[in-house]
Amino acid sequence: MTPWKFLFIVFITFWMMEFVAWFLHKYIMHGPLWVLHYDHHTPNPNRSYQYNDFFALFFAVPSFFMILLNSIYNLPMIGAIGFGIMAYGIAYFFVHEIIIHRRWKLFKFKSNWYTIGVNSAHKIHHSIQGKEGCSNFGMLIVPLKYFKNHRSTVANE
């Protein structure tokens, strides 16, 4: 497999993960596994972790084994999918934990139209503390209305 094909599969997998994450968030986290996700909507201030953090394993474990299978058996397509999942996990951590919730205060950053839009959509999602009635289950791709409302605000800063 050429390096370009490998990178293409990584890229496609990365973006497909947004839809996988949306589906799992809406139908699994806000469904049968609410028992793990609920404390993300109502965090316990006395704990540094949330049960919701365990969802990272649902993505990290398959990613790890796909990358491992590639390195042992030379299966570049499987490895590329594993790297795409890993790249999405890194982006998710950066956007969700650092930019939106600021659970890890690694640096200060200046807001832009994208971060303002993503934050706005996420605030709407968290405005409902129960598992029913929420909207905006995506992370990197959110409805355009959240970006349009804030594009002029950032330009004036």
The pLDDT of residue 13:
98
Mean pLDDT value across residues 45-63: 92
Give residue 83's domain range. Answer: 3-155
The pLDDT of residue 129:
78
29 burial (CB, 10 Å; 0-12 / 13-18 / 19+) is buried
Angle at 109 between CA 120 and CA 18, to 5 degrees: 50
Total domains in the chain come to: 1
Kindly tell me if the per-residue pLDDT of 29 is higher than 90: yes
Q: Per the confidence metrics, is the pTM higher than 0.95? A: no
Residue % of the chain over a pLDDT of 90: 56
> CB–CB of 121/142 below 8 Å?
yes
